[in-house]
Structure 1
Amino acid sequence: MADDPAGEQRRRVRVWFGDHVVADYRAEAEVADRYAAAMTRRFAGLRVTSEPLPPMDPGGRALPGERLWEVAPK
């Protein structure tokens, strides 16, 4: 799966409370960007990071299928 071009477009989004990760999700770039923007609005005082996900890194959980605030996977 390391040769999967779709894997290069996946991102890992994390929400941080100080040094502690309180949410850790991975998704396709477009969905991950929408999720990160929603988490930034929802948790304005917390740090939200979005990083490219290496193809071999399982990093976090997949974005759930149910609606989370304003973000719903397509």
Structure 2
Amino acid sequence: MKFIFVAILTALLSACQSMPPQKCTATAIIGGQETTVSVYGVRTQTNQTQYYAGNPFGWKWVSKSNFTKSTCER
């Protein structure tokens, strides 16, 4: 019983984590369909612009070339 309580409490607390503010959106072609992706950061590294992209990119820095268009400025 104690394990179930701890598991539920952990799940509830992890659901309360705040997400970083969205900076802009970008469009990627995934599975042959246009998909809008939330972008939470923009950086330039070794002369390449990268977006910190949420799902479906799994919260990773992704090259701007993976997107067909965006509302991000830089």
Please say whether Structure 1 and Structure 2 have the same fold, judged by a TM-score greater than 0.5.
no
> Greater relative contact order (Cα 8 A, min sep 6): structure 1 or 2?
1
TM normalised by structure 2 equals: 0.24
Which has the larger share of strand? 2
TM normalised by structure 1 equals: 0.24
Question: Larger Rg: 1 or 2?
Answer: 2
